Structure 1
Amino acid sequence: MNTNLTPDQSDIIKERLRQARLSFNLALATTATCALVGFCGIGLVLIGKAPEGTITTTGGLSATVYCLKLARDANDRLDELAKDLNDD
């Protein structure tokens, strides 16, 4: 890894790390929220409110999949940053 970075390069790296951390934290929080929504939907199905439960569960699971994609993208950005640092 090259430690002779210009101040601009250092600022760019710090900003990319900050954005990746925020994206990951957002994805983690929303995934947890969507999982709770999904469990609420399952509860609705179990107590006999099948239409409402199905809609709630489907919405929670769909949002969870999107949030996991967001977390994977944040991880990919960190991997790209590490590769860029090793190339310099």
Structure 2
Amino acid sequence: MSDPGSRQLAIALQARRAGLLGGEKSERLSGRVTRELLSAAKAKSGIVSQTALLEYALSKVALEDDFGPKLLALKGSVPDDVEL
């Protein structure tokens, strides 16, 4: 899944399965970002709509796993005398 459309679809499907999308849109967000950030995010994702871009970005954050921190937390948990 290297093209942006496939990644977006995968994120949307995961978010929907997790109950993050598909319900009533009751919350409103407002904020300011640099033109460069918005342009780069739109170019990288291929998403034109600011609402769709925000929904995609929030879905990615909400679905992000914590594999890295969990792996690092295991450091030192294997005894030195274990034969590998």
TM-score between both structures, scaled by the size of structure 2? 0.34
Kindly indicate which of the two structures has a greater share of residues assigned to helix.
1
TM-score between both structures, scaled by the size of structure 1? 0.33
Return the index of the structure with the highest Cα Rg: 1
